[in-house]
Homo-oligomer: A and B are copies of this chain.
Amino acid sequence: METLSPTPRTTVTRGRERVVTDRAALHALLADGLVAHLGVDVGDHPLVLPMAYGVDLDGPDAEGTLYLHGSVAAGWLRAAVGSTVCVTLTELDGLVLARSGFHHSMNYRCAVVVGRLRAVDDPEERSRALDLVVDQMVPGRAATLRPASRKELAATAVLAVPLREASLKARAGGPVDDEADVAAGAWAGHVPVRRVLDAPVHAADAHDRVPDDVLRRCQ
């Protein structure tokens, strides 16, 4: 079990009891997620935008590489290359309904990755990264698609953030109430929250034989 080795800027200072220092737990969360939130500095304030992502644990960075992509026409993304960015991935697992507002909480897993945003220029790495972004949505799907065209590749910016500086927090289970509130007898508990993928909807112009990888993803 490899442990995360956060630097001061990814060392969690609040809620230490919720910190997970197991790199395998980080990888499991990254495997579960679909949308990350990328924070970049755009001058006088941060900008936070949702992004699809892919992960390569055997990539160029010793502890794994997180890939993002966007349009080459996105100026804010181009401008962020070379700067230190924050990529946060949150999975909500439940609502924690305590007997007081103060002890209300959420069950979640959250990874915060801080690192330098690198433009990926190597054609092989770009191609692998884009496949990983597709496979994050439906594992195995990239291999079933035609290769990207030169025009498509030219229109796509591929960005990488090393997974080296990362912290992970998680909460699970029911509420922790004050004794006096428990004694007063009000109900408390938690509500599990899940993401569900429904049956695929065929494109208007598609035949009805849904690929096996897509069917597996929706189960």
Contact = CB atoms under 8 A, between A and B. Distances in A.
Interface of A: 9, 13-14, 34-35, 37-42, 44-50, 52, 71, 73-75, 83-88, 90, 92, 95, 97, 99-102, 104, 106, 108, 110, 112, 114, 130-131, 133-134, 137-138, 141-142, 144-146, 148-149, 152, 155-156, 174-175, 177, 181-182, 184-207, 209-211, 214, 217-218
Contacts of A99: 145-146
A14 B77 CA distance: 11
A74 B97 CA distance: 23
A49 B112 contact: yes
A20 to B, nearest CB: 15
B37 A88 contact: yes
Contact residues of A: prevailing secondary structure: mixed
A38 B37 CA distance: 10
- Chain B CB within 10 Å, residue with most, of A71, A87, A181, A192: A192
A47 B99 CA distance: 32
